[in-house]
Chain A
């Protein structure tokens, strides 16, 4: 049952990665990366239950805080686009560009 759970979380991470690759706009890519991170955090929790060891659970605490820091930094970076007079690269409208 835990193997099924790990497979479901990896599937969720892959579906969110597709949105990360094709999604229009920088903001949707950041949120898709966040969903991928949370999916792999759930996979780590299921793996800890599978192997019955608490070794990797401290990684979840670190990942939760680092994920929040990354999202806040990206949001602060994104909202400075409006104040720029003539931006060279429009970050929220780069449709199709990886």
Chain B
């Protein structure tokens, strides 16, 4: 059981290294946010599963609360960063679905 927990936690560590390498591998800010915002919470979740197997119910309760807080909040933060980059830099995208939506929202405000 302890070896299983260690293997799952090591898998989470490998995923964290891949998430950090994705920040260097991709060239545009959107692709970098994609790598960082998807892979790093998954790395933490896999490690939390391994630590829960090792620690028992007392540790698993706290890890479930921390994982739920991360899963609920981190995609929202990364999408806010996507929107901030889209508003501040000139977009060079193939398909840009956010620009007409934001123009419609501004027209509705005025």
Q: Residues of A at under 8 Å CB distance from B?
A: 1-2, 4-9, 11-13, 15-16, 18-19, 23, 25, 27-28, 30-32, 34-35, 38-39, 41-42, 45-46, 48-49, 52, 54, 57-58, 60-61, 63-65, 67-68, 71-72, 74-76, 78-79, 81-82, 91-92
Contact = CB atoms under 8 A, between A and B. Distances in A.
B85 interface: yes
Contact of B21 (A1, A15, A74): A15
B89 interface: yes
Contacts of B14: 8
Given A32-B23, A35-B20, A82-B87, A27 B59 contact: no
Nearest to B53: A49
Nearest to A16: B20
Interface residues of B, number: 52
Given A42-B44, A48-B55, A49-B5, A15 B81 contact: no
23 contacts: A8-B16, A9-B16, A13-B20, A16-B23, A27-B85, A27-B88, A34-B78, A42-B12, A42-B16, A42-B47, A45-B44, A45-B63, A46-B47, A49-B54, A52-B54, A54-B62, A67-B77, A68-B69, A71-B77, A71-B81, A79-B83, A79-B88, A92-B89
B46 to A, nearest CB: 9
A5 B47 contact: yes
User: Top 10 closest A-B pairs, CB basis?
Assistant: A1-B6, A8-B13, A71-B77, A68-B73, A60-B66, A15-B20, A12-B16, A75-B80, A57-B62, A64-B69
B13 A5 contact: yes
Interface of B: 3, 5-7, 9-10, 12-14, 16-17, 19-21, 23-24, 29, 32-33, 36-37, 40-41, 43-44, 47-48, 50-51, 54-55, 58-59, 62-63, 65-66, 69-70, 73-74, 76-78, 80-81, 83-85, 87-89
